[in-house]
Amino acid sequence: MLSVSHELRRRLVGMLALGALLVAGPVFAAPSAKPQRIMSLNMCNDLILLMLVPRSRIASITYLAHDAVDRLMPGADRGVATNRGTAEELLLHKPDLILASPWSSSVARRLGKQVNAPIIEVETAYDFEAIRRVIRQIGSAVGEPARAEALIAGMDRDLAALAARPAMRPLRVVAWTGDGLVPGRGTLTDAIITAAGGINIGAKHADNSTASFGLEELLAARPDAIMQGMGSYDAPALRENVARHPLIKRFFAGRQIDYPDAYYACGLPQTAQAARQLADAFARVPRGGPRW
C-alpha cells in the first residue's frame, strides 16, 4: 500500500513539472514569425506594403490605393481585399499586424488592441530622409528589413544620378492647378522640386502648409514655369478650366509641366524617379523667362 502511494506521488510530481514547462515555454524562445495577415489603414502605407511583401501576406489595404497602384505598379494589388478602416473590417480580416497613421480611426486602433494585433503608427514622409525612416519602419514591422534596404538603395541610386548631372540655372517654379493653393515649404512637392534643381516660389511659409496663389498673384510672381498635377480621373473639374486659362496659355506656352499626382501624394522609393522626371522637364524649359 505504501509503495503504491509513493508511486502515485512520484507520477503526480512528474505531471506537475511537465505542466509547468508547457506553461513557461521553452528555455530558448523561437524567433517571432513574420506577420501573415497584415492590414493597412493608410494609402501611403498600402503602397510600401505592396512593395515589401507578397500579396498572400496582406489581409487588406485601403480602398483609396487602387488608382495610385495603377499608376505606379499596375496589377500589384490584384486580388487584395480593401478596407475603409471600420471596426467591422478589423474583425472580418483578422489581422496579425495593423499599419496605421497618427490620424487613423481611434476606434480601429482601440479594437486592434482588443484583437491582439500589434499596431504600428507610421509618419507621413515629407522629405527623402523621412522616406528612408518610413520604409525601414514598415520593413522591420513586416519582417522584411533586407527588402526595405534594397528599396532605399534603389532610391538613393536615383538621387545620386540626379545629383551628378551638370548644374543648370535653377528654375523658379510653382505647382499650381488653379484652385488657389500651392505646396509650400516642408511639403513632399517642395522636396521633389528642390531635388530636381528648382526653386519652389510657393515655399513662403516656414511649415508644411500650403501657400495661396490666385491667377493675378501667379502672374505677378513671374515663375519660369508652372507645374500642373494630372490625376487619373477623366471627369472635368473647374480648377482645370482655371489652370488652362488663356493668360496661362499665353504667358506660359512651352513652360507648363504636367506631372502625375500619384508620384507626389506619398513619400515612396519612386519619389526619386519623380524628381528625375521633373529635372528632365526642367531641362526642356526655354531659358530666359516668360515673355510678358
Which of 160, 185, 208 is the last residue before a domain boundary? 160
Residue pLDDT, tens place only, 127-166 = 999 999 999 999 999 999 999 999 999 999 999 999 999 9
Which of 122, 141, 160 is the last residue before a domain boundary? 160
Lowest mean pLDDT among 48-52, 218-222, 242-246: 242-246
> Is a pLDDT exceeding 50 seen at residue 64?
yes
Confidence of residue 251 (pLDDT cuts 50, 70, 90): confident
Residue 247 lies in a domain: yes
Confidence of residue 210 (pLDDT cuts 50, 70, 90): low
* 182 and 123 fall within a common domain: no
- Annotate the chain with three-state secondary structure: CHHHHHHHHHHHHHHHHHHHHHHHCCCCCCCCCCCCCEEECCHHHHHHHHHHCCHHHEEEEECCHHHHHHHHCCCCCCCCCEECCCHHHHHHHCCCEEEECCCCCHHHHHHHHHCCCCEEECCCCCCHHHHHHHHHHHHHHCCCHHHHHHHHHHHHHHHHHHHCCCCCCCCEEEECCCCCEEECCCCHHHHHHHHCCCEECCCCCCCCCEEECCHHHHHHHCCCEEEEEECCCCCCCHHHHHHCCHHHHHHCCCCEEEEECHHHHCCCCCHHHHHHHHHHHHHHCCCCCCCC
Between residues 126 and 250, the one the model is more confident about: 126
Mean pLDDT throughout 185-202? Answer: 94
* 47 and 121 fall within a common domain: yes
Between residues 137 and 259, the one the model is more confident about: 137
CB 197 within 8 A of CB 281: no
pLDDT at 288: 65
Residue with cell 526642356: 284
> Is a pLDDT exceeding 70 seen at residue 40?
yes
Mean pLDDT throughout 226-244? Answer: 59
> Is a pLDDT exceeding 60 seen at residue 36?
yes
> Is a pLDDT exceeding 60 seen at residue 28?
no
> Is a pLDDT exceeding 90 seen at residue 50?
yes
Residue 240 lies in a domain: yes
pLDDT at 96: 94
Q: Considering all CA atoms of the chain, what is the largest pairwise distance in Å, rounded to the nearest integer?
A: 114
The backbone torsions φ and ψ at residue 243, rounded to the nearest 5 degrees and listed phi first, read -65, -30
Report how far residue 123's alpha carbon sits from residue 140's, in angstroms, rounded to the nearest whole number. Answer: 15
Lowest mean pLDDT among 12-21, 184-193, 222-231, 238-247: 12-21
CATH of the domain at 269: 3.40.50.1980
- Nearest of 269, 246, 266, 259 to residue 101 by alpha carbon: 266
Partners of residue 100 on adjacent β-strands: 121
Residue with cell 489595404: 61
* 154 and 110 fall within a common domain: yes
Mean pLDDT, rounded, of the chain: 81
pLDDT at 77: 96
Number of domains in the chain: 2
Residue 103 lies in a domain: yes
Confidence of residue 244 (pLDDT cuts 50, 70, 90): low
Residue 15 lies in a domain: no
Segments forming the whole domain that contains residue 201: 168-284
